[in-house]
């Protein structure tokens, strides 16, 4: 399927795979989401650009998460419902699923 929207300038495409909207950076679907879940995956590429693509996706689609790095580790702030003002902080790992 064709690209639906643009995130970033290089090597990034957005497509729908039949069940999820996917944001692919190079060869990795770094974010996949639908109405039930959000799946994050760096495929081991824990770079600033990978993190930026994840955060740009969250901002563009209103997904409510933010990936950040502290002391060489990645974390995710997740606003898991509209009723909670403070985000939940989760240790990042590839394949992390955030339930919506």
Mean pLDDT in residue range 43-69? 96
pLDDT of 92 higher than 90: yes
Q: How confident is the model at residue 79 (pLDDT cuts 50, 70, 90)?
A: confident
Closest CA to 44 of 76, 70, 74, 12: 74
Local confidence band at 3 (pLDDT 50, 70, 90 cut-offs): very low
Distance CA 97, CA 81 (A): 15
| Closest to 76 (Cα-Cα) out of 46, 55, 50 | 55
More confident residue, 94 or 11: 94
Helix (H, G, I), strand (E, B) or coil at 53: helix
């Amino acid at each position: 399927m064709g690209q639906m929207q643009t995130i970033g300038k290089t090597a990034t495409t957005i497509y729908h795979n039949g069940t999820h909207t996917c944001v692919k950076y190079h060869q990795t679907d770094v974010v996949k989401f639908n109405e039930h879940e959000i799946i994050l995956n760096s495929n081991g590429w824990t770079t600033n650009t990978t993190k930026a693509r994840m955060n740009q996706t969250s901002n563009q689609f209103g997904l409510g998460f933010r990936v950040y790095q502290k002391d060489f580790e990645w974390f995710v702030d997740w606003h898991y419902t509209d009723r909670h003002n403070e985000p939940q902080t989760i240790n990042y790992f590839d394949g992390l699923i955030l339930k919506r």
